Amino acid sequence: MFLWLALHLSLAWGAALPQAESAPGPIPQHLAPFQLDGRSKPGYGGHGGGARQPVNIDLSVWKRGQTELQWYGDISIGSPPKTFKLIFDTGASLMLIAHKNSTTCGSHVLYDPSQSSTFSEQPGYKLEVTFGSQGGGTTSTPEVQGANCTVVTDTVRMAGQGARSEFLVCDNYSSGLRDQPPDGIFGLGSTPYALPSPGFSFSFVSDRGKGPRGRAGVLTLGGTDRSQYIPSTLKKIPLNWPLSESRWRWVVDVRGARIGGFTLTNSTDAVTLVDTGGAIIITPDKETTQQLYGRMSDQIVPLDDQGAWGAPCHVLDRVVRDVTFTVGSAQQNVDAVVKKEYINVGEYAGKPGICQGVFTDPARVAREPINGRPAWILGSPWLRSYYTVWNGEDRTLGFATLSHRDKR
Predicted confidence (pLDDT) per residue in 161-200, tens digit: 788 889 999 987 766 666 778 898 898 887 544 444 458 9
Phi/psi of residue 143, each to 5°? -65, 135
Note the residue count of the chain. 408
386-397 residue pLDDT tens: 999 999 889 999
Most confident of 69-78, 100-109, 253-262: 253-262
Nearest Cα to 42, choosing from 201, 157, 196? 196
When pLDDT is cut at 50, 70 and 90, the band that residue 82 belongs to is very high
Residue 331 is predicted with a pLDDT of: 97
Distance CA 21, CA 18 (A): 10
Residue 19 is predicted with a pLDDT of: 33
CATH superfamily, domain 231-400, is Acid Proteases (2.40.70.10)
Q: Coil, strand or helix: which one is 92?
A: coil
Read out DSSP for 271-286?
EEEE-TT-SSEE-SSH
26-57 residue pLDDT tens: 333 333 444 333 333 443 333 344 446 788 99
Q: Where are the domains of the chain?
A: 19-221, 231-400
CATH code of 19-221, in short, is 2.40.70.10
270-313 residue pLDDT tens: 999 999 988 899 999 999 999 999 999 999 999 999 899 999 99
Task: Please report, for the chain, how many H helices and E strands are present, in that order.
Answer: 5, 27
Residue 25 is predicted with a pLDDT of: 31
Residue 86 is predicted with a pLDDT of: 93
Amino acid at 7: L
Confirm whether 19-221 and 231-400 share one CATH topology: yes
Residue 324 is predicted with a pLDDT of: 98
Residue with the larger pLDDT of the pair 91 and 368: 368
Question: pTM score, two decimals?
Answer: 0.84
107-156 residue pLDDT tens: 889 999 999 999 999 999 898 877 654 445 566 555 666 778 999 999 99
Q: Kind and range of the H or E element at 389?
A: strand 387-391
